[in-house]
Structure 1
Amino acid sequence: MSLKFRILLVEDNVDHAELTELALKQNIKGIEIDKTFTADETIAKISNSPDNNYDLMILDYSLPGKDGLAVLDSICQKKLSLPVIIVTGQGNERVAVQAMKKGAFDYIVKSPGYLMTLPVTVKKALAEKHLENKLERTEQYYQNLVECANDGIYSLDVQGRITFVNRKVEQLTGFTRRELIGRYFKDLLVEEERVKIKRWIKQVRRKHLLENLETRVLTKDGRQIPVEINLAARNNGDVISGYYGVARDISMRLQWEAERRQRNEEIRRMNEELVSKNRELERLNQIKSQFVSNVSHELRTPLNGILGYAELLRDGLYGQVNEEQVKALQNVIACGHHLLDLINEILDFSKIQDGRMRLEREVCSVYDILEAVIATVKPTIREKNLNLILSVENKLPVINVDPRKIYQVFLNIIGNSIKFTEKGEIEIGAQKHDNEILFFVRDTGIGMKEEDVNKIFGEFLQLDGSISRKYGGTGLGLSLAKHFVEMHNGKIWVKSKWREGSTFYVSLPYEKDANIESSNITNKRKGKTVTAPGFFGI
């Protein structure tokens, strides 16, 4: 054997003791043998060894003073787990029977060849002792697991009385283990649950299966604790010999479930409120859009009439007017057109918000659109004494767009640059780039701060109150431009530095096989024709 075992050899004959030790060590490897020679010495030795660190005792019955049976009695009294092999002389079989009744593992008669059979018996006893120790360790291991478990573990007899509980059951109920053992399990539950428990145990008895149940435990101090318990039958053959189960405190779980239900109910209620408010907002938005549309149409009709009569007066249709009167009428007409532009912006924005804005595409010349925009803004540029620089590439392809929308895009961008540029220049450029035509409008105006660049395309937005009071406007121009560009699957962005100016970029797709047109735009500087400065780069 490779295991280490300690044997206590009790033999009053020194020669016999040495022969026995020799026979054992020759046949069994790794054993240690201690020897005693009297009953009193033996009893004292095992009494002074509280850990009982012997694995086996070989006990000669015939000892001086007290015999071997007295040693066996002492072992039984001390409840030592120590296997004993009793050795008797011939004719003492009756003594051997008494020794077996007192708990001896086996006996051997001192016959001429007994030292040959003794090692075999010793090996058998040591093997059983090893298995017994292993079983004890395993039982202790699982007992520790049960004691350390976070759930209560219990066992019942067939009548439903408690036969075992772990530490968690004590903590859960407030009763000690001594108080719980022998009590009926149902008595630990609240009274109104006991009928249900009886039915539950009957169901377990009938099915012999594990069953779960939620109930409430009544603690020693009168509290009710919600628990989830299960129960399984313990069978002895076909007969139920008892039950065992687990009890788990579900107070926190029920609290979490209640909180979750409450949160879900709050979320449901908030969703209902949100849906209701969204519907109300949609209704109000429709009313607002309809109101804006109606007001815009109602304002445009008389405004067009005012502009028409003002132009007729200016042109002398109702009589000759002097130079001062012409200037006054011209101011009226300019203000009227400005007001008409504002109304149109609000009307366009309302259509976009309602999803009523549609594109009316047609094949257009880039140059025609830019010429129309330049013709519109030229008087304002001349009035502010700004330089206009054109950097438009020759032979640009035609584009399939809604010309009114794209005209409005560049009119809003260039108009914005003119508005915020007191001196310097406005540069307009365009060139072919991959499958796009890339436009830019650069100015030397007041520019924007870095934190304002990403806000510039917002609706009804002007970045500074003092600026909006000085320059006016609805704050919709660039927002409309962004919407129109994106409706054409294009992109719009801006780069700017505060007090240095801004550059707006617009990219619009075109078909690769589109027709190519040569530029017919002349470059203007303060109303005079100049040479184009070339292409631009990003």
Structure 2
Amino acid sequence: MNAELEKQPKVLVIEDEEFFRQMITDSLAESGVTTLPATAMDLSEILDQNDDIGLVLTDLEMPDVSGLEVLQQVKALKPEIPVVVVSGHQDFHALREVLSGGALDYLVKPFSDMELVATVEKGLLEYVRNLKAIRDREEAERLLSDLILLREIGETASGEGDLDTLLDRVIDLIVDSVGVQTASLMLPDKNGNLKIRASRGLPDGVADKALIKPGEGLSGHVFVTGKPVLTTDIGGDDRFSPSGDDGQYSTRSALSLPLKGRDRILGVLNVNNKADGSIFSIHDQYLLSSIAHQTVLAIENFFLFSQLREKANELEALNERRSRLVCNLSHELKTPLTSILGFSELLLMHRSQIGEAEFDDYLQKMTDSSLHMERLISGMLLLFSIDSGTAHWQEQPVSVAEICREVVNSFGAEIEKQGLKVELAIDDNLPALSADRDKFRVLLESLVDNAIKFNEHGGKLAIRGVMETGDEDRHIYLQVYNNGASLSPDMAAEVFADYSQLGEINTAKPSGVGIGLALCWAIVKNMNGTISLEETDGVGTSFGLTFPVGPGA
């Protein structure tokens, strides 16, 4: 026999005459062909109970059912099985009818053993080719279905605006298309433990309560190793430590795949309990690996789009603040510039009529306005240079107590005008701080200026500085406090934002462009320190700063 028929199917022989039936059986047996004798009345039952029949050999003329009816029945029940019709005489009309009905061949009795064997071998080869065609068609349909599924997952990734909705949609597609009863997608929480984010078919409460540590159970194993696992006995596989979820499996076969991102494992995809009760195959693993890859792309794209949206919102907010800055800057510069222009015009036009004392007063006011403009512009340029990374930092040992006293003294006139009570409590034994002296002074000037502006008349301005030692570091702690308007710690993001200031141009807000605290934050950051709004029990505002001190200081 042909090599393609190494695992040879049987030939169903339907012949009402015992002599011819036995003759066919004996002739085929000598060639290694297994036959299954039957009557036409038992055809449906035999075809249903035997899946190894590869050819039907039927007599044309029989008492109860004709060979043509057998042909029609076989083609209706199992069209892949070829049919050879045997007749006792040459009949052109019968030949045309059976061949048009789908018969493979038409044999006329008597025929030789060689002719019979050749016809049967041709029929069995045709059966093998038919099976291959069916498998090829099913594989093509499966591949098309897989491609459609992957396309739907890809479309889902770009269409959903919420991560949980996206993951739920992916799980729905897997359950409906792959034919599983249970599926889950697990992502790590903030502590690194796997938590179910989307699932189908799990017992009530499991999805909410399940928390798998890395390395624990099947999911934890896959998350740690980054390799897929296909197992036929989840309970008996000793590669995995128990995770307490064994009871959810109705079949012992399970498949778990890592969600591999560009540089890390994002999570785990689990499926089990195939709807048809079968075990998972390598094809299932290949398909679900592709689905896992598409899911990773979906998750990464989601996070990318979220980051882009967040960045766009940040840029929009920054643009709004910068627009406000331009308005504030124009307003703040206009006042001193108007003063300078007014006094200079007055001096030019009426110099001879102005006394010396009045002349000196006008010059002082022009100088004060010029210095105010210089501070505004210098602060803006310094913030821009720090933001762009072009600022020059000249570090040197700096006395915190000395700078604090200098800054407080420089605001003497403003403090006296506000009637403020100053409490300066700086430990004289504080070690020198390694810092750019000018920028450190700008930092303290901005904080003190802010504390004066937003203080109440007759209020308190307190600056405290002490050395603090933690478990792993030593740092200088500075506190700048005023008992004016209260700012809670949850306003820190707004307060330290670039170009932000409470109040608007056309209200009674204190003067200033709105860069002071943003400048403070930028300077402290470059000094590897911290700055924060502190709790004040609803009274006043307190800024706390820390600066690291080396072990030898």
| TM-score clears 0.5 | no
TM-score by length of 1: 0.43
Larger radius of gyration: 1
